[in-house]
Amino acid sequence: MCEASAKFVQDAKTPLINSATAFKCRYFQKWGSPAGTPCNIRDMYKDVNGNWVGACVNAQGEVQKYWEDCSLAELQTNIRNVAADMTKGFEYFDDIVVTVLDSITQDMIQAVNQNILEPLQDLLSGFDCTFMRSFWQGLTDSLCYRSMNGFRAIANSYVWVAILSLVIAMLMYIPWRLMRDNYDVAYLERGATQQASV
């Protein structure tokens, strides 16, 4: 039974080991090279000037990948080098982040100022009490100056009404006095005539 199991495993494993197209391996495309030219992240390095050589990204930060048939040995190599690829990739990303952090920070600050802080400041500038000054000034002008001027005009009108009333009273007194004197004279004369006839 054990021999049969071992033979079955050997028979199933042998085609996989000997076949060059039994597996699919994923590679990064090397920029500027013919299609199918792999770019190994673990082979990237930093030169004396601080520039990365052999980077698998283009100037826009894009990565191109492709799948290719591979043998079991190539698949094992790729799996064994995953840790080295990730370590080198994180080193590259950390270095790139440091170089672009200032520009990202400046762009973010500018975006926040332009889209949030400046509109908010404009909004808050509108919520001041300057309208109270004009309102209070108008209220003061209406109640203290214009109304006082109106009261003064009314008082002056009363004075002129009193003067005109006095003038009218004096003008009316003259005809009344004449009529009264005429009436008194007529009354006295009539009284004297009645006494003479008695």
CA–CA dist 129, 179 (Å, integer): 73
Contacts of 28 (CB under 8 A, 6+ apart): 38, 39, 40, 41, 56, 63, 64, 65
Name the residue with higher pLDDT: 169 or 105.
169
Is 0.75 topped by the overall pTM? no
**Residue 194 domain-assigned (yes or no):** no
Q: Would residue 60 count as lying in a domain?
A: yes
pLDDT of residue 82: 84
In this prediction, residue 74 carries a pLDDT of 83
pLDDT level of residue 163 (50, 70, 90 thresholds) = very high
Q: Classify residue 139: in a domain, yes or no.
A: no
Tell me how many domains the chain contains. Answer: 1
SS3 label, residue 19: coil
Q: Domain residues for 52?
A: 8-110
Does residue 178 lie in a domain region?
no
Q: Is 69 inside any structural domain?
A: yes
Over residues 147-158, the pLDDT tens digits come to: 777 788 888 899
The average confidence (pLDDT) of the chain is 79
- pLDDT value of position 165: 92
Least confident range from 45-59, 120-134, 176-190: namely 120-134
